[in-house]
Amino acid sequence: MTNPQAPGHSDQPLVAAYDTALLDLDGVVYAGPAAIEHAVDSLDAARAAGMRLAYVTNNASRPPRVVAEHLTELGVPAAATDVINSAQAAARLVAEKVPAGSKVLVIGGAGLVEALAERGLVAVESLADGPAAVVQGFDPSVGWERLAEAAYAVASGLPWVASNTDMSIPTARGVAPGNGTLVAAVRAATGAEPEVAGKPLPPMHRETVLRTGAKRPLVVGDRLDTDIEGAYNGGVDSLLVFTGVSTPAEVLAARVEHRPTYLAADLRGLLEAHPAVTATADGGFDCRGRSARVVDGELRVSGAGGAQADRYDGLRALCAAAWAELDRSGEPVDGRKALAELGF
């Protein structure tokens, strides 16, 4: 069930209901150099249950083999072929625009350079080298001089492809500026718009399907505006985990394209069945004894829940009530008090 009007349910653990997990990395599996709590054990168990694990990231800075090595060091065994990044999707887009063997101005890191080489394209660093296109992706080393070179090239009329436009990226120290902020600088200088390859847009989903061969994929991410919208655009189900960027309050206000199929605290959600949300006679919604409805323009939550209930059952019920009201009125409803009562 994609794009639900209420959170979806699965009688089976998700590892049994889907053949492949398409996992975001930053904010889902790790934050900076360290694994997120429960990620390693959960992925181990998912792999043992027969689920294929593929790692799909908008971060174009590192080649897949480097990402795979990092994952393996963290205790998540991975090969380069298990990692799909926005650099690969961007390189495919560029290759469709320019002749084979063309030079391409790279504003980014080794991930873009290797992805272009895979497509038979040659990375260069200056407009003076005669590039046929510009490709831009995140790398922490990108500074003013590189952004200026991009602006000169884009202003000259060259095709411009951006790996992604995420405005932020989770790090071990907190949330930092992402590639979207770097793209915005070039946009402001030139007035041009890049073609974007990464999540949530179709080129990234196409790249992922081509490389994994997934038949029943589940997108797993921490961001509504990239991971969950990307699943929506691809017509596949999604699991949102709250270990990265998006918050429960943002989920309550989510419009259709940002609504996850499933909700979980972390990657342990892959190993669980997900309970159903049902409509109640008073116009509200219930999930295993946790009930939610809109009263006087405000979300209310009630019920202690059954033996298996947890605060995420309350959040599921709140989402159903909030989304129904948003679809009816066009305006988000205040859920701050209800979320606080659930401990969010």
The residue from 11, 19, 26, 313 that is catalytic is 26
pLDDT at residue 23 tops 80: yes
Average pLDDT in the 13-28 region? 96
Same domain, 164 and 215: no
Q: How many domains does the chain have?
A: 3
Range of the domain at 36: 14-58+201-271
Same domain, 98 and 161: yes
pLDDT band at residue 171 under the 50/70/90 scheme: confident
Same domain, 104 and 148: yes
The predicted pLDDT at position 267 comes to 98
The residue from 24, 139, 166, 222 that is catalytic is 24
Q: Is 26 a catalytic residue?
A: yes
The predicted pLDDT at position 22 comes to 97
pLDDT single digits (tens) 174-213: 889 999 999 999 999 999 999 999 999 999 988 998 899 9
Same domain, 29 and 120: no
Judge whether 81 lies within some domain.
no
The predicted pLDDT at position 308 comes to 67
Same domain, 317 and 244: no
The predicted pLDDT at position 263 comes to 98
Q: Is 334 a catalytic residue?
A: no
Average pLDDT in the 208-234 region? 94
pLDDT at residue 306 tops 80: no
Among 141, 166, 196, give the residue marking a domain's end.
196
Among 156, 175, 196, give the residue marking a domain's end.
196
pLDDT band at residue 39 under the 50/70/90 scheme: very high
Judge whether 63 lies within some domain.
no
The predicted pLDDT at position 168 comes to 87
Average pLDDT in the 247-251 region? 97
pLDDT band at residue 4 under the 50/70/90 scheme: low
pLDDT single digits (tens) 84-135: 999 999 999 999 999 999 999 999 999 999 999 999 999 999 999 999 999 9
Judge whether 66 lies within some domain.
no
In three-state form (DSSP H/G/I as H, E/B as E, the rest C), the secondary structure along the chain is CCCCCCCCCECCCHHHHCCEEEECCECCCEECCEECCCHHHHHHHHHHCCCEEEEEECCCCCCHHHHHHHHHHHCCCCCHHHEEEHHHHHHHHHHCCCCCCCEEEEECCHHHHHHHHHCCCEEECCHHHCCCEEEECCCCCCCHHHHHHHHHHHHCCCCEEECCCCCEEEECCEEEECHHHHHHHHHHHHCCCCEECCCCCHHHHHHHHHHHCCCCEEEEECCHHHHHHHHHHHCCEEEEECCCCCCHHHHHCCCHHHCCCEEECCHHHHHCCECCCEECCCCCEEECCEEEEEECCEEEEECCCCCCCCHHHHHHHHHHHHHHHHHHHCCCCECHHHHHHHCC
